[in-house]
A and B are shown apart, each in its own frame.
Chain A
């Protein structure tokens, strides 16, 4: 048995709420919402409200799918800065074979969702690096590989070196080492995968 109360929304839509009737007082939160619209109102309403709801619903449904697919096929930008770039390349060589984790370097920032900053960033290059970062489509992540990218490394005091690339844009994972071994790089990428799962489901 249900009791029906009707209320009018500001947009003019009628929302019918079903409330439980029992011994206990009625719950504050409506348990079920039904959107009731007449046929002639359907098209303008669909444009105003339903699209948003549908989009939201689709997002909730598909976001885990996209996250699952995205985190298992991170495409880093093919960008070699300094010493760590050689270990980065070795990580894609025969012995470590990073591609078995779905990590494939791409040469265009438009195709990438991961920026691995593998080396020293100078002030002269910082503008270009920010441009590269902004050219990458969302969702995107950044890994600071090695001590130079993390905090300037041995060149911290130099006049031309950015003391830590997080002065330029946010970093998700820092990898220590000068340079880190390829295993450490792979570990950093796997940690980023875990982080995406924890953060976005």
Chain B
């Protein structure tokens, strides 16, 4: 048989973003793949070097547009480490709750898009409907649906509004109920099971070698989750389990994400309980001068610290909805970072495409790539 290269992308319904999967096919069989990214490379790391620490937040939101708050917090953990700023406990709880709401929104978005790829239209509409409920919660305390600009060096911009926790609890109850419906729609569908079980297998050994993280790694049976292994924020106070699956296939990744949504709901409820009982400030008392406003408004002088702060480097790692995200910031005592580097889980998960795609059929490509959950904004940065 003759082999040929086929471009799937940059404009292709399978891609869920802007990238090109070059596939070498022999008939219907995938012989080789060569993912090509960079179509959404927006130079975020370079622009960071030209902006003040707080001004970078707009770029972080847009670097991963389905999990903006995760990247905001990632960047600010690194920046706070590099600048030596302490964050109040209430702000940490607000951040943790926001993280888990974000994970919920991101996974529901993934579910909606993925199941639509498999030919089931109504779960997509249900998913988008329930995701909008979570986005309404975001809108009530950040003011935006997707690009929030909510966190700051030393805390968060504003406290939660009155009545937030009741609304959030109602939404959590609703989504918890609907998750059962989602699962029934998929797992009782023969089409869904036949297309996902045993497809796109990436064993734990290959995951470790290729650096694949997140739900893909946990679906291979490795219970690595930075929320538990290297706790940041207040995750060490939270009670949750790390779901794993031993299938290492597309179905396993689906199962892991569904369970993660349940765990997210648990964490959101725990944070809301704590937040109800502990009012307080959500912004650090002292923030370096160049990080806060250049000239503080009257009565807000406490936000200003001495002009100079120690040179340093900060490394933040967190479990983003897609996997392990790392931010590394080199601070040279200026008002802007000297070098900011972001490690995107999607970037690495795509790079391993050779290991989980060769040997399957062309019709399996949307199933496999959908189960990876790509977001090209963070992969290309």
Contact = CB atoms under 8 A, between A and B. Distances in A.
Contact of A178 (B13, B124, B128, B147): B147
Contacts of A78: 11, 13
Interface in B1-22: 10-13, 15-18
19 contacts: A80-B16, A81-B18, A82-B18, A82-B65, A82-B376, A83-B147, A93-B131, A94-B128, A94-B129, A94-B132, A119-B40, A122-B38, A124-B39, A125-B40, A155-B47, A155-B62, A158-B46, A160-B41, A179-B146
Contacts of A107: 12-13
Nearest to A83: B65
A128 B10 CA distance: 8
A157 interface: yes
Given A82-B65, A158-B44, 5 more contacts: A82-B40, A83-B146, A83-B147, A155-B47, A178-B62
Given A79-B11, A80-B16, A82-B18, A154 B129 contact: no
A87 B109 CA distance: 11
B109 A132 contact: no
Contacts of B13: 78, 107
B42 A95 contact: no
Contacts of A124: 38-39, 41
Contacts of A154: 47, 58-59, 62
Given A154-B58, A179-B146, A122 B42 contact: yes
Interface string B230-254: 0000000000000000000000000
Contacts of A142: none
A125 B10 CA distance: 8
Given A78-B13, A82-B65, A157 B50 contact: yes
Contacts, number: 103
Contacts of A85: 17
Contact of A181 (B59, B128, B145): B145
B146 A159 contact: no
A90 interface: yes
Given A87-B146, A124-B39, A181-B145, A82 B47 contact: no
Contacts of B377: 82-83
A142 B189 CA distance: 39
Q: Is the interface of A mostly helix, strand, loop or mixed?
A: loop
A132 B146 CA distance: 28
A144 interface: no
A122 B18 CA distance: 11
Interface residues of A, number: 35
A82 B125 CA distance: 21
Contacts of B303: none
Contacts of B131: 90, 93
B129 A95 contact: yes
Nearest to A179: B146
A125 B20 CA distance: 11
A86 interface: yes
B66 A86 contact: yes
Contacts of B309: none
A128 B11 contact: yes
Contact of A94 (B18, B39, B58, B125): B125
B347 interface: no
A173 interface: no
Interface in A56-81: 77-81
Contact of A159 (B11, B15, B43, B147): B43
A161 interface: yes
Contacts of B128: 89-90, 92-95
Nearest to A87: B146
B39 A93 contact: no
A80 B146 CA distance: 16
Interface string A145-187: 0000000001101111100000000000000001101000000
B116 to A, nearest CB: 10
Nearest to A79: B11
Centre residue among B11, B41, B65, B128 by max chain A CB count within 10 A = B11
A85 B124 CA distance: 15
Nearest to B15: A80
Nearest to A81: B18
